Structure 1
């Protein structure tokens, strides 16, 4: 089943922009799964308590974590994504979550499935980034929220949108995109990575979509807002560069601006500091997030 893209009709510019946002959105809602048919609450609590080793700290701000249910090694501490040709093997965590694993096996073929992970996001945000820069060929990444709130959002280029619980989304990973949530309750999203970006992923046992795709309306940033943000970094230092960046991403989610523009703002703010090292660091972070990085490369703040 492929859900038809639509928007709740509203008169005027907001409705027109919502339609335009849907037409330009490269990520796709593929289906809706009957998540309510599975008793997952106790298992989601297990994920809430599960420890995270900080593999993706360079890209995340606030409480974001990654939890591996199945991969090529069967080791839950093996969380750094990479394509592999091994047999998909449940981790110790995955074996503790039979309901969530049943949701996967009931609705998806395992033939091309390489990773099963859960992303947790609570009062946090991700830097805009491009996935698979390290690899010659991208795969197919699906995300299915298992617990979410209205404050939990995704972005792609200049569009911000919401993934509802049970919706299966094929994330367009090769354009700048991000995720953020201001909620105190952790959003938990099932992430499935399949080999081959071109071959469609078969989905069984889905249910009809009853809600329109939700595009979030944002006003244009004002000159005063941008000036305040940029000027706030005149005293930027090596110690504050990381924490300050979150403000730039938060403005992208609140105001209509391209995800890559976050880095334009950040580099300009670094220039206002008058420190060449800060400018170089800001430019290097842009490169790492959306332009070029090698496998296993880390970013040193």
Structure 2
């Protein structure tokens, strides 16, 4: 059962954002989350606790919200935020950009004792952009407001020609609901994606088809992460398959690295910890 929830639909067509999308498409990214991403994926900070555009590593904070230089260049997107969402608990405003990309299955907020509330609103997307949660795959339509259940294994895939832009809002606290203003009625049911179960031959091809090496194992993980978007399996199964493939190499260092990557992504991670391949 999907724990993430569609909370609302915004009248996004009333906002003229094409010029601001162009700004985001040309904005550079410092690569802070490269351990979790494959392909072209980037995070762009519009507002945070410091107002510094270089301050891109997400973390809870006690201060107010300050616009970055990028946020000042995107008044339309920021007006969407201020028109529809309360600002008192809002800590981070970011836009995630993805093209031909996969986010590693992972659990958020492992670094901190308390989870916050994370909302995502696709600004530009296509049906080839998918999210997963546990063993469920779903699509977020443009303008839908989703509360992402990010404390279970979840992932994302963006395929096709369209570069996905998704507004991400992080609020302090996980218990109090976020009051959304000015939404419009949903006209379509939640878009869940049905997938057939993987066959034994498909799993054998995945696990045994290409031998992992110490040099290739980071890049090789992408195909393990991709399978559950096409076949019915739990997001965390990617790590099970990956460790099985590592064990077939007979190289203890490869096995240890594969197991450590699973721990880092879904079990335990320290504040500021970077995974070293």
TM-score range, shorter chain: over 0.9
CA displacement 1:145-191 (0-9 Å, x = unmatched): 00000100000000000000000000001000000011232100000
Aligned mates of 1:37, 1:208 — CA distance in 2: 15
Alignment of 1:66-77 (within 5 A): 66-77=43-54
Q: Give yes or no for the alignment of 1:136 onto 2:119.
A: no
Question: Does structure 2 retain, via aligned residues, the 8 Å contact 1:233–1:272?
Answer: no
After TM superposition, give the deviation of residue 40 of structure 1 in Å: 0.3
Aligned length: 277
1:58-137 alignment runs, 5 A limit: 58-137=35-114
3-state DSSP of counterpart to 2:120: strand
Query: Which residue in the other structure is 2:159 paired with?
Result: 182
Shift of 1:69: 0.1
**Which residue matches 2:243?**
267
CA distance in structure 2 between the partners assigned to 1:165 and 1:182 by the alignment: 16
What runs of 5+ residues in structure 1 fail to find an aligned partner?
1-23
Aligned to 2:105, what secondary structure does the other structure show?
Answer: coil
Q: Counterpart in 2 of 1:20?
A: none
Q: Please point out which of 5, 25, 30 is paired with 1:48.
A: 25
1:29-75 alpha-carbon deviations (Å, 9 max, x no partner): 00000010000011011000000000000000000000000000001
* Alignment partner of 1:196 out of 154, 173, 197: 173
Report the secondary structure of 2:31's partner residue.
coil
| Structure 2 partner of 1:294 | 270
Contact 1:158 1:258 in 2 (8 A): yes
What is the rounded CA distance, in whole Å, between the counterparts of 1:185 and 1:30 in structure 2? 25
| Secondary structure of residue in 2 paired with 1:127 | strand
CA RMSD of aligned residues (A): 0.6
- Structure-1-length-normalised TM-score: 0.91
Whole-angstrom distance in 1 between the partners of 2:210 and 2:262 = 17
Task: Structure 2: give runs of 5+ residues left out of the alignment.
Answer: none
What is the distance in 1 between the residues matched to 2:77 and 2:62?
A: 23
Secondary structure of the residue aligned to 1:267 is helix
How far the C-alpha of 1:237 sits from its partner, in A, is: 1.2
The offset of 1:273, in angstroms, is 1.0
Aligned match of 2:7: 30
Deviation by residue 1:105-145 (Cα, 9 ceiling, x = unmatched): 00011000000000011001010000000000000000000
TM-score normalised to structure 2 length = 0.99
Match 1:216 to one of 193, 200, 209: 193
Conserved 8 A contact 1:233-1:270: no
Pick one of 155, 158, 165 that aligns with 2:132: 155
Of 161, 165, 172 in structure 1, the residue corresponding to residue 149 of structure 2 is 172
Moved runs in structure 1, 4+ residues, more than 4 A? none
